[in-house]
Chains A and B, each alone.
Chain A
Amino acid sequence: MKEQEQQLIDALAEMREDEALALAKTMLDRGDNPVRVLELCREAMDIVGKRFEKQEYFLPELVLAGEMLETIGALAKPLIVQSAGGEAKKLGRVLVGTVHGDLHDIGKNIVTFMLDINGYEVRDIGIDVPVKKFLDEIREFKPAVVALSGFLTLAFDSMKETVQAIEKEGLREGMKIMIGGGQVDDAVRSYTGADAYGSNAVAAVTLCRQWIPAAA
């Protein structure tokens, strides 16, 4: 690896935003392969994710990492020549959304980010998602895992309703459902009929690793 490539990874992983963006811009301006620049970003995000798992990094770092990634992505993506190598293979599909009645999205966004940088193909369908929208998206996206998020206590019932509808429509076979957010614990998991709950974004990644075999 070239010295500057390592510098880019370090700057991103160490949250030195100005340096990271300047380096990426220099590399892209002089004609470095944009796919390679994005690969370096992915490596840096891998470090960020691991530090988050080890509780060395928290939300400020995840949000800033996401911003840096987005800025570099916006510079690099238009430069990518079609069929230049393609995206890395994704591990499996995860559908994420905040259940109906609840407008909170911080937890959901962090779960989406962590699953994404850990190699999953994540579709985030937003907040206050009606049951029908979950059903439609499951039919269309065919996820291996559905993640229901909710912060308010009213979300317990919305989650239960969503899980029941998924089951009733015959969509649960071969798919796992996890819940998380706010006050969700094992009692809520049992109440809603979900397969598992996670108390943070790292738990969401761990559950997906258990449920989706890496070799698939």
Chain B
Amino acid sequence: MSAAASAPGEAAAAHAARLKRVNDAIALRQPDHVPVIYHTQFWHARMAGMNYRRAMYDYQALMDTCRDVLLDLQPDMYASPMRPALGPTLDAVGYKQLEWPGHGTSDDAMFQYLDREYMKADEYKEFLFDPSGFFLSKYLPRIGTAFEGLENLPSIPNLYYGRMFGVLSKFADPKVVAALDALRKAGEESARLGACMGAFADEMDKLGFPQSQGVACSSPYDYFGDQFRGSKGILLDMYRRKDELLAALEKAAVFITQHTVASALNHPCKMIFIPIHWAMDSFMSLAQFKTFFWPPFRKVLLGLIEAGLTPVAFWESTCTTRLEVIADIPRGKAIYWFEGTDMLRAKEVLGDVACIRGNVPASMLNTGRPEEVDAYCRMLIEKVGKGGGFILDGACGIPDEARPENVKAMFASVRKYAA
């Protein structure tokens, strides 16, 4: 364990220095050195020899392993190990969109999302007319057993004057009562997780480590593709139901922004993590990207920025052909984290627009040698970090299987090389 667990004054100074370093990078100023962020799924737990089942169910053990890693690596920021949903919450909701250890995957396998159709093609009209009604009556019972029964609730706009009294008995429907009871239990578990999250954040603050993300959200296209229509569904909708899809994306942009801004009010960290799955060069043409993906997503980005939040858009895979398009946002207000995108080209196009983050390849961290990692980080720091506006990270954070000596080489590099 390193010297970071030191006097409170020193930790507070380290906290302030780290925050300033990252804020300088976001504002496209040159920090004292390139900041580096610790973001992973469960690398700390795996390094401690924990299997995925324990990592997803034992909050305290998970936090303990993360604390040890932070003290060792000394990152400028970290993403909380406490995800919004871990095993107990998933159990309580009876969540159907993921498989996780003990629920479809083995104790030694990561949780995974199930790409399926959660909204049928002919349900666009219903969604567009009344999203909340659609959620209660169709969507929620499809994604979690705890929600089953909510379809028996009365239609909410029907709750007025005499009509309201006429349908009030539906709140006593046994299925509704059972659903609300199951959701109460899920809510209590979620509150327990939230309390752990808050306590861990406070503890890390005291040790000098700020968080790298508060709440998360999705781009409208990802939201609709991942959570509603499934990959095949949304790809077909681009031809078969173009107008309905565009209307749904437009609508989603508004409420994604509203909900994210409202949730962020209660979170000390104002950086909003936005993982992006469907923007990559190989998935859709540039013309389709400009039609379906970018306009509603840009609306979300502008809405978040206007509310004083910092979007952290994680552009998965390779998005090199999108760079000129996504440069159309206010200067110095967002982080663009790239996985496989050409970083030098990104610097060229976005150097005056957004802070660039990334991108030590997963293959190098998992299978390479520390010297290779060191050389790659040096290249990034010297070339992409030149003039400021760069944060070092893995291409997709630290993969759970990364070799510890490679991770150490990555974190050490920011203190060895100057931009």
CB distance from B343 to the nearest CB of A (A): 15
Residue total for A at the interface (Cβ-Cβ under 8 A) = 31
- Check B396 against A183 for contact (C-beta < 8 Å): yes
List of A residues within 8 angstroms of B232 by Cβ: 63
Query: B271-318: which residues lie under 8 A (CB-CB) from chain A?
Result: 282-285, 288, 317
User: What are the interface flags for B205-240 relative to A under an 8 Å C-beta threshold, 1 for contact and 0 otherwise?
Assistant: 000000000000000000000000001100110111
| A103-B99 Cα distance, complex, nearest whole Å | 9
User: What are the interface flags for A168-188 relative to B under an 8 Å C-beta threshold, 1 for contact and 0 otherwise?
Assistant: 000000000000001111011
- Check A156 against B361 for contact (C-beta < 8 Å): no
Count of inter-chain pairs, beta carbons less than 8 A: 83
- Check B400 against A58 for contact (C-beta < 8 Å): no
- Check A185 against B361 for contact (C-beta < 8 Å): yes
List of B residues within 8 angstroms of A57 by Cβ: 285
- Check A183 against B99 for contact (C-beta < 8 Å): no
Would you call A22 an interface residue if the criterion is a C-beta within 8 Å of the partner chain's C-beta atoms? no
Would you call A80 an interface residue if the criterion is a C-beta within 8 Å of the partner chain's C-beta atoms? no
Would you call B110 an interface residue if the criterion is a C-beta within 8 Å of the partner chain's C-beta atoms? yes
- Check A60 against B238 for contact (C-beta < 8 Å): yes
The answer to whether A156 and B114 touch (CB under 8 A), given A58-B282, A60-B284, is: no
Task: Choose among B232, B282, B368 the residue with the greatest number of A CB atoms under 10 Å from its CB.
Answer: B282
CB distance from B165 to the nearest CB of A (A): 49
Closest to A187 in B: B363
List of B residues within 8 angstroms of A63 by Cβ: 232, 235-236
List of A residues within 8 angstroms of B401 by Cβ: 153-154, 156-157
Would you call A67 an interface residue if the criterion is a C-beta within 8 Å of the partner chain's C-beta atoms? yes
| A63-B283 Cα distance, complex, nearest whole Å | 11
- Check A191 against B288 for contact (C-beta < 8 Å): no
| A18-B27 Cα distance, complex, nearest whole Å | 51
List of B residues within 8 angstroms of A157 by Cβ: 401
Task: Choose among A59, A104, A156, A187 the residue with the greatest number of B CB atoms under 10 Å from its CB.
Answer: A59
- Check B361 against A183 for contact (C-beta < 8 Å): yes
Would you call A15 an interface residue if the criterion is a C-beta within 8 Å of the partner chain's C-beta atoms? yes
- Check A60 against B110 for contact (C-beta < 8 Å): no
Would you call B366 an interface residue if the criterion is a C-beta within 8 Å of the partner chain's C-beta atoms? yes
List of B residues within 8 angstroms of A182 by Cβ: 317
- Check A103 against B114 for contact (C-beta < 8 Å): yes
- Check B363 against A58 for contact (C-beta < 8 Å): no
List of A residues within 8 angstroms of B239 by Cβ: 15, 17, 60, 64
- Check B368 against A187 for contact (C-beta < 8 Å): yes
Query: A46-94: which residues lie under 8 A (CB-CB) from chain B?
Result: 55-60, 63-64, 67
| A184-B362 Cα distance, complex, nearest whole Å | 9
Would you call B50 an interface residue if the criterion is a C-beta within 8 Å of the partner chain's C-beta atoms? no
- Check A187 against B288 for contact (C-beta < 8 Å): no
Task: Choose among A15, A56, A184, A185 the residue with the greatest number of B CB atoms under 10 Å from its CB.
Answer: A185
Within the complex, which residue of B236, B340, B367, B399 is in contact with A60, where a contact is CB–CB below 8 Å? B236
Within the complex, which residue of A56, A59, A184, A190 is in contact with B235, where a contact is CB–CB below 8 Å? A59
List of A residues within 8 angstroms of B340 by Cβ: 183
List of B residues within 8 angstroms of A124 by Cβ: none
User: What are the interface flags for B101-128 relative to A under an 8 Å C-beta threshold, 1 for contact and 0 otherwise?
Assistant: 0000110011010110000000000000
| A67-B240 Cα distance, complex, nearest whole Å | 12
- Check A183 against B240 for contact (C-beta < 8 Å): no
List of B residues within 8 angstroms of A154 by Cβ: 109-110, 400-401
List of B residues within 8 angstroms of A104 by Cβ: 112, 115
CB distance from A199 to the nearest CB of B (A): 8
- Check B395 against A60 for contact (C-beta < 8 Å): no
Would you call B17 an interface residue if the criterion is a C-beta within 8 Å of the partner chain's C-beta atoms? no
Apart from A63-B232, A64-B240, A187-B364: 11 A-B pairs, beta carbons within 8 A: A58-B282, A59-B235, A59-B284, A60-B236, A60-B239, A60-B288, A63-B236, A152-B112, A153-B362, A156-B366, A191-B363
Residues on A lying within 8 angstroms of B by beta carbon are 15, 17, 55-60, 63-64, 67, 101-106, 152-154, 156-157, 182-185, 187-188, 190-191, 200
* 3 shortest interchain CB distances as A-B pairs: A153-B399, A187-B363, A191-B367
